Amino acid sequence: MPTALITGITGQDGAYLAKLLLAEGYTVVGLMRRSASSDVIGERLRWLGVLDHVQLVDGNLTDLSSLIRIVQEHRPDEVYNLAAQSFVAASWRQPLLTGTVTGLGAANMLEAVRIARPEARFYQASSSEMFGRIQAERQNEHTPFYPRSPYAVAKLYAHWMTVNHRESFGLHASSGILFNHESPLRGIEFVTRKVTDGVARIKLGLARELALGNLDAKRDWGHARDYVRAMWLMLRQDQPDDYVVATGRSVTIRDMVAIAFGCAGLDWREHVTTRQDLIRPAEVDVLLGDATKARERLGWEPSVTLEEMLAEMVEADLARHRARQRG
């Protein structure tokens, strides 16, 4: 029975990945950052029904000693580094924290593996935000990067450190350059979940309008459940490598909003307002991924459409708010 260590296990991707690996027969150990909200920190794992089947251990990406200790104790066969300060908007307000956790934290995890378990296979969660001001109409593994936020800059450092550990020390270290991926477990601060939660509140009479920023930005959105499968497939390969994971379909935030409101039988134009203070200091206008390599080498394909994903998210948010009303 292989053992997997997941950093960021209590987040959206970590929870879905834990469920996948458990189904594949893994022992799953999750790194948990101690916080004041520890009583609710496992809610995503509980929502998926796997909280009681994973082992949560205290550690922090900024504390190399804790990472080495955990790797020595659990001797994972695979390490998935998903933890990060992952909210792009917050990275302008907390650039040093973002750099420390998202960038240097990944380097710490790589060093812990190199020192204590060099035979383990390593996955780094890279991001399409690294492409930033896009240098090609469709972005693949050869497209130059042009980060446009402190978050993207930190992710780029982590990405190249992963490549460097692979080439310098022979680690089986792969990066997944994942385009936007969402689910009912997405944090409320992210635009898709902000929209579906707003739809639910408006539908139930709990709100009348939803304030958003730039509606013209275009994104390539998939479902997190599909994307964690790609992570796992990367570590099944004999040779480590980097892969773009995307649907190949890009729509504007405006179109995404229209689809989400339509799931509840609402006209978005009657409820959505725009606010200048919600627009990023430096916008990423378009992201459109080319996942040809992942399809050909990993046999990976997305299975959930944008419309299906948004319908699932709206229904989940409706159920959450109805439960609160009853409670």
Selection from 218, 228, 226 nearest residue 257 by Cα? 218
**Structure tokens that stand for 282 in this block:** 């430096």
Task: Check: CB of residue 79 under 8 Å from CB of residue 106.
Answer: no
Pairing mode, if any, of strands 27-32 and 3-7?
parallel
Closest CA to 2 of 64, 79, 86, 76: 76
Q: In terms of Cα–Cα distance, which of 1, 6, 2 is closest to 228?
A: 6
CB 121 within 8 A of CB 77: yes
Spatial separation of the C-alpha atoms in residues 197 and 54, rounded to whole Å: 29
Residue 103's SS3 state is helix
Q: Measured between alpha carbons, how far apart are the two ends of the chain, in Å? A: 42
- 280 Cβ partners below 8 Å, 6+ apart? 88, 89, 92, 148, 149, 213, 214
Q: Is the CB of residue 295 less than 8 Å from the CB of residue 301?
A: yes
Q: Report CA torsion sign: 289, 151, 316, 25.
A: positive
Catalytic residues: 127, 129, 151
